Amino acid sequence: MVQTKRVLVIYTGGTFGMLKNEKGGRQQAAGRQAGSRQVAGRQVAGRQVAVLVSQKNIEEVIRLLPQLHDVDHWTKTMAGTDMKDYLVLPDGKDTEVKVLYKIHEYDELKDSSDFTLDDWIKMARDIKRFYHDYDGFVVLHGTDTMAYGASILSFMLEVVGKTVVLTGAQIPIFQPRSDANSNFHCAMLIAATQHIPEVTVFFGCKLFRGTRVKKVSNTRIYAFDSPNFPPLLEAKTTLDVDPKMLIHPPESVPNECRLHDKLSQKVYVLKVAPTITPKVLRAVFDNMEGVVLETYGNGNMPIKRRDIYQEIERAVKNNVLVVNVTQCINGTVLGKAIYETGLLLVECGVVPGFDMTSEAVLAKLSYVLTKTELSYQQKVELMKTNIRGELYNPQR
């Protein structure tokens, strides 16, 4: 008997399902791509410019794509049954498992640049709510904030015994050169057949750890990278993950979902630039509980600007949790500073971010700061501790 796996697809919006209307305005879809299209145009310098807007009822379109839905199998075995709401991934050489999936489309589809922490809390709660009904989860997510979303979901899902994959597209699924088909198909297979008990991102043939990924291009199909940690998997003729790459051995993770669905809204990323002033620092620190401080090189700031260090020291004394990360794509900020400028930050009480991405630090701060049972110093120690595969601390 053929083994079946069920996957829940959470469709949140993003480029994956967007359409553009050359004429502008709003119109009702007709013909082959049924469903309600929400498209819009904008007037620029007296001419109409097409813009991309998310397509509602994406399931109706995917059901027409033979690469993503086996209509013959569905008609023969599922139509007219309680399984009629599922779609079926066509058979392939990758697996003998029959992958069934259901699309849970949000009422309000968003460009991911509009996402707030509340949106990711909603996604995490949905994974928790449907956890025992499915074998894996795929989140269709816009690319602009996917790295933030993957990190935030990683921390909120304190324990997750099933595979969670975020994916999307650089080119909408309706266009001939779209990368959506491949990204979606592989993400579905990984969620259904690979036991990876953590949050991940699949994009451009590679599967990345959710707390390690970063968007590195807005034009290339290979839009994401993991600068300080290798991919968990690369899609070749087969899809195989090395268990040694995972945070925990899969057999050691209980098949349950434990959710921490509180996040601090008072966290911000502040990039150090030559024009930075104490006034800027104070404006940020006075309104935040945590700050990601993006510094130069190995974690450096201007050495002769003592007024800047005074503001940072004042913020730390007021229990603002400040974490130092490098502006470089690849690299680390160690607790033991190499240069005097970095040492001054350590002496001010700034926490080294090691090799974490800015996105991971923002997510971790938002999570850690809501751990009200912890003291300030315990939160500092937790920021320096690897809990979701987000950092390597050579001092531990």
Choice among 15, 163, 295, 341 that is catalytic: 15
Element (H, E) at 60: helix 58-62
Write out the two tokens for 235. 């899609």
Beta strands in the chain (DSSP E): 4-13, 18-20, 40-44, 47-54, 87-88, 98-110, 136-140, 157-160, 163-167, 199-203, 206-209, 214-215, 224-225, 233-234, 257-259, 267-271, 290-295, 321-326, 351-352
15 a catalytic residue: yes
Residue 111 Ramachandran class (φ > 0 left, ψ -120 to 50 alpha, else beta): beta
- The letter for the amino acid at 297 is G
CA-nearest of 318, 301, 316 to 351 is 316
d(CA 164, CA 198): 6
Write out the two tokens for 119. 């949106």
Cα dist. 355→71, 126, 270 in Å? 46, 31, 17
Alpha carbon 52 to its chain centroid, in Å, reads 21
d(CA 153, CA 345): 30
d(CA 13, CA 281): 35
β partners of residue 101: 7, 87
Catalytic residues: 15
